[in-house]
Amino acid sequence: MARSLDRKRCIIVTVVTVVLLIIVLGLVLGLTLRRDPEQFETTFIDRCETFEGYDCKKLWTTFEQAYVGRDPCKVTPEDYDPFIAAASFKPACDRMMFWSKTKDVVHAFTEKNPCFVTLEDTVLGGVVDGLTWCGKEGSSETFTIGCPGWTDCENNTVRSFWNRASVAFADAACGDVTAMLNGALDTPFSSASIFGSIELPRFTSPKVKRLHILLVSQTNSGANCTNASLQEIQKTLSAGITYSCKDMTEAQLQQCSHKPCGNCW
């Protein structure tokens, strides 16, 4: 009788354990493959509607067609070509601002000084800035968790998008162009960055007349315009484009935010 009870208890414990494992596994898979297409789509369209002149629902449909139902590591920059064409914008000659490793600083600046425009200040980049997304083979949904990271595979959904969008933004550059780099780094310029590998090589004369580098740091103790890495910019820069550079602290940059349109450097 005792053995029979022990056996029943053992069976009950085993069943409970299996059920708990199934529940835990389901939760893990749910987190890994969680999809929230409605929230992502809503965010995309809400952001799009802050820009004038776009059919935002049509723009969303064009955007998702680049990756939905596909292996998230096999989405190329060219897959976003239809979206890039649909999200075309008027070039802001003399006002386009590029950046590398200064995202928070540059956007705090352009938010207060709309004279300058970054990729993320246009519909092209603004609709998905800071977001993660991907599709899955056999699914018609957009996923926001479980997507490959920036370095997990070369042609992942997000990386391919920003590479293609950066090409479009750089191709639109005209007149005087500004790039904000991080003066707190030992090597403020990297040829492997998006700015160094994609945007800078696409500046062409006479469309682009001048490239001005802003080397921004919290204090004056950081790198300056004599930094060896900046010489690589001058070597890469297309013939006919004038190069200049200025060291600035974040406090000095903040003062520029409150001045009327026009360079304060």
Residues 26-81 pLDDT 10s: 343 344 444 456 799 999 999 999 999 999 999 999 999 999 999 999 999 999 99
Interval 182-202 mean pLDDT: 96
pLDDT of 109 strictly over 80:
yes
Q: Note the pLDDT of residue 226.
A: 93
Q: pTM for the complete prediction?
A: 0.84
Per domain, the residue ranges of the chain are: 37-257
Cβ-in-10-Å burial (0-12, 13-18, 19+) of 262 comes to: exposed
109, with CB counted inside 10 A (0-12, 13-18, 19+), is buried
Architecture per CATH, domain 37-257, reads as Up-down Bundle (1.20)
Per-residue burial over 128-146, b if 16 or more Cβ lie within 10 Å, else e, is beeebbbbbeeeebbbbeb
Whole-angstrom distance, CA of residue 92 vs CA of residue 119 = 11
pLDDT above 90 covers a percentage of the chain that reads: 76
Higher per-residue confidence, 2 vs 263: 263
Do 198 and 214 meet the contact criterion of CB atoms below 8 Å apart? no
Q: In what order do the strands lie in the sheet with 175-182?
A: 97-100, 175-182, 208-217, 242-249
List, for residues 146-176, the tens digit of each pLDDT value.
999 999 999 999 999 999 999 999 999 999 9
Which residues are bridge partners to 243 per DSSP?
Answer: 211
Q: What separation in angstroms does the CA of 73 have from each of 64, 132, 133, 158?
A: 15, 14, 12, 10
pLDDT at 30: 41
